[in-house]
Amino acid sequence: MSTGQVDKAFAELREIFGDRATTSSVHTMAYSRDWSPRYREMNDLPDIVVIPNDTQEMARITKVAYRYEIPLVPFAGGTGMGGGAVAWKGGIMVETKGLNRVLEIDEQNMTVTVQSGITIEVLNAELARHKLWLPHQPESKRACTIGASIGCDNDSTFGVRYGKILDCLLNAVIVTGRAEAIRVGQRKASFSSTGYKLLDLLVASEGTLGTITEATLRVVLLPEAREVRGYLCRCLNDTARGLERLLGSGLAIESAHANCRNRLHFYTHSYRERYGREPQLPEWADAILFLSFAGDRDIVAFNVDKATRIMVDEFNAERVGEQELVEGWWDSKHRLEFVPFKQKWPDSQRQKKFGAADLGLPIGRLEKGYLRYLQIAKKWDQEILGMTIYNESPNKATASISFAVFVDDSSQDKVNQFYQYVREMSEMAIELEGTMSTYIGDGDRLGGFNQFEHGPGLKYMRRIKRIFDPKNIMNPGKKFRSRWIEYDQGAHT
């Protein structure tokens, strides 16, 4: 990509979009990084930033990128932790939040159709007027858009009941790397057995196949009541076994998260601010299981009572006595209600950044994974923050795990050590018959190295990309190449 190509592309985009296309460094700097750990002096500036307002405008941008063979990268909330929205090859950055309209709320068929740049919080505020909600709720919902949730396949607070974004997604419109707008999926039906499941390909595609501009999603009724409880357990495996037992009993559990005792202290920042002390936990408790129950009040009351009896009687758990601790945790996970002028992030976040290996492990290997995490973090001199287990498959215990650390981003060497930590943790996940990533995605960290997980299948993925994106302009440098991890390209073919 030459300077001349960029200049010609910008001239065309400026003629079409006016002030909605810019090369000003004041604007490009705002899109130079996401929340992935990287050296604080490091910035990846796009050459051009454009804000489209509909699918047709997105197609016009893509035609320009196709003509001049310039990279095109979609940008949403910027809260991703894998470098998926970083334009490290330059090119055109598409600010998708111009695609922010609700197109239809179909109460009769329980669906909503939106543009992809609407944030989940704004969408749910609109749905609430109709006593509906979209249960896909990542912690980043104030910034996270529908398109980003599809593109990254992020986790949701309520995954154990409603699943991930694909469980809500009915169809979507994508502008491919050929500048063609196509709708994939099954209209407003919940499933289909015709054709190939192209809709599924969009989930976790990170903008490498095209840019998502619209989506139709299944919504549900707002619950009448909700209760949250916490249970202290002797080990992480007990949290998984307990959850399987609760689900097997027929209880309707809305959310289920488990923490090691280290990670719990990350989520109790507001508790410390309110009470001036750390929560008191018994020495024997190495894990804590948080559950929420929602629905009609009498059903919720029954579920809470039955769940407590099962956890206490069958798993020797202890209900968290300080409900303020539980509510404070829920404030940070779902309500996003913080003490005024205080965030949930510890003050050390000003000096070091949150980083994580986001592995999926079989639920019987949580303790083994936790011990390996402690060893690998120590080997690469990572400050251990703790382990959180999300459950993202409806009505079954699953392990989408955040193995979190604090990263000193003032040093390039420290950042490089973090990615060596991610590499070794990823290798451990495959060794334990799991997966390298469950909610962050490949981004610019696992690309190519993910051949260790997919083997020859990665070749077929490359071929699929070429069909959608023959000139490799759609978010290049993601999925198939890593900036951070060295790997032998021929070792796992």
Q: What is the pLDDT of residues 436-476, one digit of tens each?
A: 999 999 999 999 999 999 999 999 999 999 999 999 999 99
In this prediction, residue 351 carries a pLDDT of 72
d(CA 432, CA 448): 20
Task: Give me the sheet containing 92-95, strands edge to edge.
Answer: 21-22, 48-50, 92-95, 72-75
How buried is residue 250: exposed, middle or buried, by Cβ count under 10 Å (0-12/13-18/19+)? exposed
**Of the listed ranges 145-149, 269-273, 408-412, the one predicted with least confidence:** 269-273
Mean pLDDT of 66-80: 96
In this prediction, residue 350 carries a pLDDT of 65
Give the model's confidence band at 493: pLDDT under 50 very low, under 70 low, under 90 confident, else very high: very low
Mean pLDDT of 207-228: 98
Confidence check: pLDDT of 347 > 70: no
* Average pLDDT value for the chain: 94
**Of the listed ranges 118-132, 254-268, 404-418, the one predicted with least confidence:** 254-268
d(CA 283, CA 263): 15
Confidence check: pLDDT of 2 > 90: no
In this prediction, residue 268 carries a pLDDT of 76
In terms of pTM, does the model score above 0.85? yes
Give the model's confidence band at 408: pLDDT under 50 very low, under 70 low, under 90 confident, else very high: very high
In this prediction, residue 272 carries a pLDDT of 78
Confidence check: pLDDT of 381 > 80: yes
Mean pLDDT of 225-232: 97
Confidence check: pLDDT of 234 > 70: yes
Confidence check: pLDDT of 110 > 90: yes
In this prediction, residue 276 carries a pLDDT of 84
Give the model's confidence band at 32: pLDDT under 50 very low, under 70 low, under 90 confident, else very high: very high
In this prediction, residue 349 carries a pLDDT of 58
Confidence check: pLDDT of 346 > 60: no
The tens digit of pLDDT for each residue in 5-29 reads 999 999 999 999 999 999 999 999 9
The tens digit of pLDDT for each residue in 115-153 reads 999 999 999 999 999 999 999 999 999 999 999 999 999
Per-residue burial over 195-217, b = 16 or more CB atoms within 10 Å of its CB, e = otherwise:
eebbbebbbbbbbbbbbbbbbbb
d(CA 395, CA 391): 9
Mean pLDDT of 467-490: 90
Return the structure tokens found at 491: 């070792």
Return the structure tokens found at 151: 């593109």
**Winning range, highest mean pLDDT, from 38-42, 268-272, 295-299:** 295-299
In this prediction, residue 267 carries a pLDDT of 75
What residue ranges define each of the domains in the chain, with the CATH number in brackets?
225-335 (3.30.70.3450)
Q: Between 220 and 327, where is the model more confident?
A: 220
In this prediction, residue 281 carries a pLDDT of 86
- C-alpha to C-alpha distances, 258 to 110, 141, 235, 271, 391, nearest whole angstrom: 32, 21, 10, 18, 9
